[in-house]
Structure 1
Amino acid sequence: MPKKLLLPEAVRDLLVRRFNNQHQAWLIGGGSWPLVVSLGIPTEKDIAGDPQAVRAWADAWQARTGPGRVVCEERQFARLGRHSLPVHLELSDAGQVAAVVGQARRWTTASERFRELVERWPVPALRAELASRFDVLADYSKDDFIRLTSLLAWLERNPKSGLYLRQVPVEGLDTKWLEKRTALVAALLRALRNSDGSEEADFHELCGLRKPAHRVRIRLLCPSLRSLVGGLGDLEAPVGELASLPLRPKSVVIVENLETGLALPDIPGTVAIMRLGNAVSALGALPWLQGVPAVYWGDIDTHGFAILNRARGPLPQSRSVLMDEETLVAHRALWGLEASQCSDLQFDRLTLDERAVYQNLRAGTWGPRVRLEQERLDWPSAVEALMSALDDVQHASTADEAKFAEAALPN
């Protein structure tokens, strides 16, 4: 059969691609209708060369049922006489295209929900945003869609409620549901307000909700420090409250994982800060840490180095420990796999050696997505290395203070 002659299956494949590429534009009224798809027109040479194939093509279109209209035309051939041949498939609107490609239910649901929302909020920016969220309109359950629209309506009526999320009186709304949809809610809310979000980068601020205070967990590894807070050694509180503690530690240990921090022994003059993850920048809110010798111990994986780089913002004096190539290679039997690596970023706060390990991890030098979790290390050896690093940073700090004091003396 000549390639230019399209059977119903080939036209359907073509329309699947057309629907996938243009359904968002169609939702907001785009497209030129009716949509006409040429089926190919055989020449007299085509018919003479393979009459059975051309007849099968024509029969397939004549027998076709379903959305759209197959348009036939009379064609006069010099030797073969006059024949009625299918020439194109005509589809009156996007709904017919959706039906042809098996998307009728999704298209109908999305269209109805789109109309409902733009009639409720006739804001031009919302039309474009909703079109980009076709899957939400098409696939959300009835309950989820009602929950979403009810939340948007409540936030519009109460732009500065100052409530916590769990206090918002929307039926079925809970933290887990919203955590998966914060980007969606923020985008729709900005569209409703014709705002690009530049003034309200934070989700809670955008919604006028009260943000839960960031909580930090610390351990006071020194009896003298514990005596300053009534003997408490394991504390978790909003960072603003921890900032007011009357502490003057001689050193700080920052560990990525909670279990590691809980297992640390007593260390004179030392505070341990645990499980901050990407919120490690909160250390900048603790005035009693500023200038204190610091050791950071995290997992050897790409995210571990990303957090280390972030930690050096508020604590530029931080020194890493047990995050080097030697430690990684010596514990090959304990390696695991990083679920996904962090983006390929230029971490300008890492040392040359640290950056080399990070880049080799990303490059798969030791294997794909290699990671070594800190709690997998031999504990006595790890504690020994940590204590040695603390001694080094404390001595370096003391030496720096002595140099500063000497320089301050009058000649």
Structure 2
Amino acid sequence: MTRWTTPADVRAKVQRRWDDQTLLRALAAGEDFPAQDFPIRGPKVSEIGVDVGAVRDWIAALEDASRQGECFEIEWSVIGGREIGRNRFPTRARLTSYDQAWALLGAKRRVASYVEILELVSDLPVVRAWVGDHPLKSLDATDDWESLLAAYRWLAAARGSGLYLRTIDAPGVDTKFVERHRPVLGQLLGAGRRPSAFARDLGLAAKPDTVRMRFCPGFLGLPRSVTEATFRVDEIAGLQVGVGCAVVVENEVTFLSLDPPNDGVLLWGKGFDVDRVGALRWLADVPVWYWGDLDTHGFAILDQLRAWLPQTESFLMDRATLLEHRQRWGSETGPTSARLGRLATDEASVYTDLVTDRYGNAVRLEQERIAWGWATERLPYQRI
């Protein structure tokens, strides 16, 4: 038996126009209702006489769901023959008004909320356009729109001011509110969604990048008892700093465990934050060594650091170290296979082995798993 169209089928077809926002966008644009017209699959003539009761129930269910045209109109056709007589059967469902769609979907209250939002933003063309194009996202923030508009106006006025977001004093708005609604505010203001991009694109002050380092005695004229500090990158990058070399390591505990070079600095790279190290212009003309995890991302970070400091050499990222610690291998989550053009020949060979799973699936040797004696015997610099 062919499956007969049910009231749920009719509703599902209109629901798709709600979900893809066709109906609400048309409403926001002041357009006529985009008529919805669907065929109704019913019993074949040969099926009608098999179970007349089922046919009557099917017709009654469709008529009840239509609510005499309040939710949808039914188009009828006469079918039948000598055996069962000629009878009217529903053959199409048609909606010709917004009111019918909202009644069928049970969406009257949500539509009323959307209309209120449209009226609320009517004097802000950019916001009005966004609300018209993103009805469902707008409805998700139904209870917050007055505060959203206050935040929007404050941020638009503060664009380029260099202020920290913490200084926002819009009515009913604080930094937590802005953080929670950053995706919407970012779209309204043409700013990125990530915190740093959001602040940068609006010309606001962002949390400064910092770099943590340990150093030889007397670094920057500091007392000899001071052996470690965290500096703002924008403040220290351009200073005239006299060092003989730099060592960059991936892991924080390794950073704390190693002695700094006797004429330079030891820096915590923090993975892909290694760009902060690269921005230190006073490292451009001194030897730089990098020790990262022996996995695909470790080599990607090395490649990234060389974009800033091409003289960087790696250590303890070689095949001998990898194979010596076979019992300590782990598995890398989401390894990369990116083309890395700044690796030396031996580094590229190990990287290729990892990418192609030569030694096993997604093999990785984390920095902190390398035997300390093996590591300290192979350091390329003189320690304090």
Q: TM-score, normalised by structure 1?
A: 0.74
Task: Check if 1:321 corresponds to 2:325.
Answer: no
CA distance in 1, matches of 2:98, 2:333: 41
CA distance in 2, matches of 1:330, 1:16: 61
Superposed displacement of residue 58, structure 1: 2.0
CA contact (8 A) 1:6 1:40 kept: yes
Partner of 1:382: 375
CA contact (8 A) 1:130 1:188 kept: no
Candidates 235, 238, 245, aligned match of 1:241: 235
Partner of 1:165: 165
Name the % identity: 33
Superposed displacement of residue 261, structure 1: 1.2
Post-superposition CA distance 1:45-88 (Å, at most 9, x none) = 45356656544432331343677124142515332333232233
Partner of 2:208: 213
Superposed displacement of residue 208, structure 1: 2.8
CA distance in 2, matches of 1:363, 1:96: 59
Partner of 2:40: 39
CA contact (8 A) 2:39 2:92 kept: yes
Task: Check if 1:87 corresponds to 2:80.
Answer: no
CA distance in 2, matches of 1:229, 1:88: 85
Alignment gaps of 5+ in structure 1: 192-196, 392-411
Partner of 1:258: 252
CA contact (8 A) 2:214 2:260 kept: no
Q: Which moved more, 1:131-140 or 1:80-89?
A: 131-140
Partner of 1:71: 74
Partner of 1:139: 140
Superposed CA RMSD in Å reads 3.8
Superposed displacement of residue 209, structure 1: 1.2
Superposed displacement of residue 364, structure 1: 6.0
The AA in structure 2 aligned to 1:89 is A
CA contact (8 A) 1:296 1:319 kept: yes
Task: Check if 1:373 corresponds to 2:372.
Answer: no
Task: Check if 1:189 corresponds to 2:189.
Answer: yes
CA distance in 2, matches of 1:213, 1:371: 32
Superposed displacement of residue 263, structure 1: 1.6
Post-superposition CA distance 1:296-345 (Å, at most 9, x none) = 12233444333222211110111222334554455455455555556x54
CA distance in 2, matches of 1:308, 1:111: 54
Partner of 1:408: none
Superposed displacement of residue 89, structure 1: 2.9
CA contact (8 A) 1:37 1:88 kept: yes
The AA in structure 1 aligned to 2:206 is K
Q: What does residue range 109-128 of structure 1 map to in structure 2 within 5 Å?
A: 109-110=113-114, 112-117=116-121, 119-123=122-126, 126=127
Q: Which moved more, 1:279-288 or 1:333-342?
A: 333-342
CA contact (8 A) 2:211 2:232 kept: yes
CA contact (8 A) 2:355 2:362 kept: yes
CA distance in 2, matches of 1:102, 1:189: 33
1:261 counterpart SS class: helix
Structure 1 residues 243 and 18: alpha-carbon distance in aligned structure 2, compared to 1, 3 A threshold = closer
Q: What does residue range 14-33 of structure 1 map to in structure 2 within 5 Å?
A: 14-23=13-22, 25-26=25-26, 28-29=28-29, 32-33=33-34
Superposed displacement of residue 268, structure 1: 1.8
CA distance in 2, matches of 1:346, 1:219: 33
Post-superposition CA distance 1:189-218 (Å, at most 9, x none) = 139xxxxx9xxx953343231234322111
CA distance in 2, matches of 1:243, 1:19: 53
CA distance in 1, matches of 2:133, 2:214: 47
The AA in structure 2 aligned to 1:85 is F
Superposed displacement of residue 291, structure 1: 2.3
CA contact (8 A) 2:214 2:228 kept: yes
CA distance in 2, matches of 1:336, 1:101: 52
CA distance in 1, matches of 2:323, 2:53: 69
Structure 1 residues 94 and 55: alpha-carbon distance in aligned structure 2, compared to 1, 3 A threshold = same
Aligned length: 372
Post-superposition CA distance 1:26-56 (Å, at most 9, x none) = 4644785332222135553453566565444
CA distance in 2, matches of 1:107, 1:361: 55
CA distance in 2, matches of 1:329, 1:102: 65
Structure 1 residues 20 and 147: alpha-carbon distance in aligned structure 2, compared to 1, 3 A threshold = same
Candidates 264, 269, 272, aligned match of 1:278: 272
2:256 counterpart SS class: helix
Structure 1 residues 113 and 256: alpha-carbon distance in aligned structure 2, compared to 1, 3 A threshold = farther
CA contact (8 A) 2:160 2:202 kept: yes
